[in-house]
Copies of this chain bind each other. A is one copy, B any other.
Amino acid sequence: MTRTPGPRLTISQAASYAGVTTRAIRHYHQLGLVDEPPRDGSGYRRYSARDVIDLIRIRSLAQAGVPLRRVGALLAADRDEFAAAVAEIDEQLRAEIRRLESHRTAIAQLATVDGLALPSEVVEYLDMLRDLGMSERVVALERDAWVIVSAQLPDDVRNWIATKRMTFEDPQVVAIYHALDEAFDLPPGDPRLEAIADQLADLFARSLPNPTIDARRQEPVDSTTVAMLDAETVERSPAWRHLGRLLEQRGWKGWSGVEPPEYVPPDADPG
């Protein structure tokens, strides 16, 4: 009298009756979820009805999203343990679903190329620049500067950009933006830069907002961030760099207009 009567199935037969793959069965052996069955004369595994039942129960748990490392304990659990474990697994499934839902929200937010890493308000601002006839090159420079700003100060960007948009109601601001756009490729010695510098100095006196300049006024922005913003904006054009020097001749601290970009720790007393 053998301890396990009935048919002795090969691994593929057992797999077929249990509704899993042979590879999955070997994997369950490796994890210790099912004992290795006895081998026949050829070294083939031979499975009993009991093994098939165990495999079906494992499959049920696995298909329900139960991690295999929890399956062993679950199969041996009593009613209360089982219920508790099932509740916990369900909570994990719900957390994962919440995570994916937030991914969907994020995907929808960045539904445009510009929107990558930018809040929608900045995207609208960039579209406004396009509507005003600014070149794609300048729009791209602005976009990249705002990517850095948005990553550093995600909570301040919306206010900041709203203020900036308002300044475009002033025709002189629009005009100087166009002038700067067109000056991008001028040689640094071009005399037209002098007129632009005059206009800029005039606007500076009225606090032209600009990510680079505003960043300097924003306490939490450190000097490295300012340097990165400059690298992506002013430094891109020799003419614009020269305009910085012309602004210094007019009594401003270059493009910054205000304080030099030394870093002031937030807890230091500026007095």
Residues on A facing B (Cβ under 8 Å)? 4-7, 9, 13, 17-19, 48-50, 52-53, 56-57, 59-61, 63-66, 75, 77-79, 82-83, 86, 89-90, 93-94, 96-97, 100-101, 103-104, 106-113, 116-117, 144, 147-148, 151-152, 224-225, 227-232, 235
What chain B residues lie within 8 Å of A108 (beta carbons)? 90
With beta carbons under 8 angstroms apart, the residue of B9, B50, B61, B90 that contacts A116 is: B61
Q: How far is the CA of A227 from the CA of B78 in the complex (A)?
A: 30
The distance from the CB of A204 to the nearest CB of chain B, in whole angstroms, is: 23
Q: Is A110's CB under 8 angstroms from B148's CB?
A: no
The distance from the CB of A67 to the nearest CB of chain B, in whole angstroms, is: 11
What chain B residues lie within 8 Å of A101 (beta carbons)? 97
Q: Is B6's CB under 8 angstroms from A116's CB?
A: no
What chain B residues lie within 8 Å of A50 (beta carbons)? 144, 231-232
- Known A-B contacts A53-B147, A147-B57, A229-B49; A104 and B113 likewise in contact (beta carbons under 8 Å): no
Other 7 A-B pairs with CB < 8 A, given A75-B116, A79-B113: A6-B228, A6-B231, A18-B151, A53-B148, A64-B109, A86-B110, A93-B100
Q: Is A49's CB under 8 angstroms from B148's CB?
A: yes
Q: Is A103's CB under 8 angstroms from B65's CB?
A: yes
How many copies altogether?
2
With beta carbons under 8 angstroms apart, the residue of B17, B75, B77 that contacts A228 is: B17
What chain B residues lie within 8 Å of A56 (beta carbons)? 117, 147-148, 151
Q: Is B49's CB under 8 angstroms from A232's CB?
A: yes
Q: Is A228's CB under 8 angstroms from B151's CB?
A: no
Look across to chain B and name the residue whose beta carbon is closest to the beta carbon of A83: B111
The distance from the CB of A24 to the nearest CB of chain B, in whole angstroms, is: 15
What chain B residues lie within 8 Å of A64 (beta carbons)? 103, 106-107, 109-110
Q: How far is the CA of A113 from the CA of B5 in the complex (A)?
A: 25
Q: Is A111's CB under 8 angstroms from B86's CB?
A: yes
Q: How far is the CA of A50 from the CA of B144 in the complex (A)?
A: 8
Q: How far is the CA of A224 from the CA of B113 in the complex (A)?
A: 60
Q: Is A100's CB under 8 angstroms from B107's CB?
A: no
- The 6 A-B residue pairs whose C-beta atoms are closest, nearest first, are A6-B231, A65-B103, A49-B228, A64-B106, A60-B117, A5-B235
Q: Is A17's CB under 8 angstroms from B148's CB?
A: yes
- Known A-B contacts A61-B116, A103-B93; A6 and B227 likewise in contact (beta carbons under 8 Å): yes
